[in-house]
Amino acid sequence: MQNPDKFLITGGKPLKGTVVIDGAKNSALSIMAACLLSREVSILENVPRLKDVYSMIEVIKILGVNVEWIDNNTLSIDPDDFNNYEAPYELVKTMRASFLVMGPLLARLKKAKISLPGGCAIGARPVDFHLKGFRALGANITTEKGYIKAEVKELKGNDIYIDFPSLGATENIMMAASLAEGTTMIENAAKDPEVIELGNFLNKMGAKIDGLGNDIVTITGVKSLKGVKYRIIPDRIEGGTYMIAAAITRGNVEIKNVNPYYLKSCIVKLEESGLRVSTKDDSIFISDPEGIKSVDIKTMPFPGFPTDMQAQFMALMTIANGTSIITENVFENRFAHAGDLRRMGADIKIEGRNSIIKGVKKLSAAPVMASDLRGGAALVLGALVAEGTTEISRIYHIDRGYVRLEEKLRSLGANVRRE
Ligand code: EPZ
């Protein structure tokens, strides 16, 4: 049974003050996997203390890699002589990003056996683009009893077109191709900051990757990679979530240690909805709006509006003036939070990939339940403005991606406690 923790949040307080953003969960996860490509120790700084990071530590430990925290946010990863190539179901089922070890295992041990990551609340989450890439690099892939087995004599560079700019597939293929013989071209590659950061990390290890952030990424294989020291970038989605927290409570907040460029689409949409947003090189200031106007959103691959901010923005639109349409183009089933927001008085209709949100005067507290990480964050945001005390259960979903959420919100004046 997951821990029974709940949040109790009494709404109505405008947030004020400064919040500091932690390291990017999704960048830490792929860079931790990439450490396995070298025999030397790598040191990762600004790694966030999150459940998903702990899960990834368990996965690479089970492969035989030495991992330890050398200070509160610094990991030392020593993949010198690991030899286990199997990532078991009980670990992979808790975090599908474990699948990111497949590329490094193929490159280092020439084989991998990983439980097929199950779907999750937001969609089927297949890995066919990852497997298409590994096959193109020469791997023989079979599936049996829910496991994917891959073997290869020598990884050989190739041209790979992925049907959708998948973040994970781009990362997995990039990692395998770094130690392949010859050159690999990934066409229709993902351009997310986390993909660029993984490429930067690999290049610092001695890989030869060009075109990061463009449609075509070219990887020229090298013989070996060295261990490096690297600092994880701030988490743009944590930062974006606090922007919405400031907006929905009509507060006045400085969000520190965040790259405004990575949140451009969110900043533009918040300005269109009437917010005053100003930025410095590593912080964003959100100040009192004269009431939130409804705006339409379409989630798209980076640099489009991030799907990981869709739920949070929907929470804001529930109390906007007017009607907004939010279209989810990346995942096929990412509106679970709408049901719980309706329980709080929101007026939301779902039609396929579209959600139609009619702004209401106010939300009211009601017992609700998180069903996924960002949907859970949306319920926290609704509770910050709802009349009364909202109880949110299954907050283990939220703990996967937010460091000390209740502490940070309380420091901004919110009335939040964990029970
Ligand atoms: C990454 O997931 C993130 N996770 C997700 O964040 C994020 O929502 C997503 O990218 C999109 O930005 C990590 O980085 C650990 P995709 P990923 O491959 O790589 C389909 C969070 O909140 N697809 O870009 O799994 C897929 O079903 C998580 O931390 C295939 O069809 O996302 C989806 O519809 C939630 N076949 C679309 O592509 C494949 O082989 C985008 O998925 C791979 C993906």
- Residue ranges for the chain with pLDDT beneath 70: 1-4, 119, 289
CATH number (domain holding residue 245): 3.65.10.10
State residue 277's pLDDT score.
93
Decide if 120 is catalytic.
Answer: yes
Ligand 1 geometric centre to CA of 224 (Å): 29
Which residue segment(s) compose the domain that 411 sits in? 7-22+234-418
Question: How much distance in Å is there from the Cα of 71 to the middle of ligand 1?
Answer: 30
pLDDT at position 321: 95
Residue 156's contacts (CB-CB under 8 Å, 6 or more residues apart) are 137, 138, 180, 181, 182
Domain endpoint, select from 216, 231, 246: 231
Considering the domain architecture, whether residues 247 and 109 belong to the same structural domain is answered as no
Whether 356 is in a domain gets the answer yes
Which position has the token pair 């029970």?
419
| 276 and 366 belong to one structural domain | yes
Query: Is residue 400 a part of any domain in this protein?
Result: yes
pTM exceeds 0.95 for this model: yes
Residue 119: predicted pLDDT: 67
Based on the fold, state whether residues 44 and 16 are members of the same structural domain.
Answer: no
Task: For 202-255, write each residue's pLDDT tens digit.
Answer: 999 999 999 999 999 999 999 999 999 999 999 999 999 999 999 999 999 999
What is the predicted pLDDT for the residue at 323?
Answer: 98
Q: Which of 26, 27, 191, 332 to mutate to test the pocket of ligand 1 (most atoms within 8 A of CB)?
A: 26
The Cβ of residue 224 has, within 10 Å, a number of other Cβ atoms equal to: 13
Nearest CA to 79 out of 109, 112, 99 is that of 109
Same domain for 220 and 336, yes or no, is no
Quick one: 141 and 202 in the same domain?
A: yes
Tokens standing for residue 312 = 């949070």
Whether residue 86 sits in one domain with residue 199: yes
Residue where a domain terminates, one of 231, 253, 272: 231
6-34: pLDDT as tens digits? 999 999 999 999 999 999 999 999 999 99
* Same domain membership, residue 227 and residue 260: no
pLDDT for the residue numbered 29 = 98
In a domain, 110, yes or no: yes
Q: Which of 191, 214, 231 is the last residue of a domain?
A: 231
In a domain, 1, yes or no: no
Q: In terms of domains, do 52 and 159 share one? A: yes
Q: Count CA atoms closer than 13 A to 315's CA, side-chain side.
A: 31
User: Is the distance from the beta carbon of residue 164 to the nearest atom of ligand 1 less than 6 Å?
Assistant: yes
Total tally of structural domains belonging to the chain: 2
Q: For atom 43 of ligand 1, which residue has the closest CA?
A: 127
- The whole-number pLDDT of residue 299 equals 98
Ligand 1 centroid to 167 CA: how many Å? Answer: 6
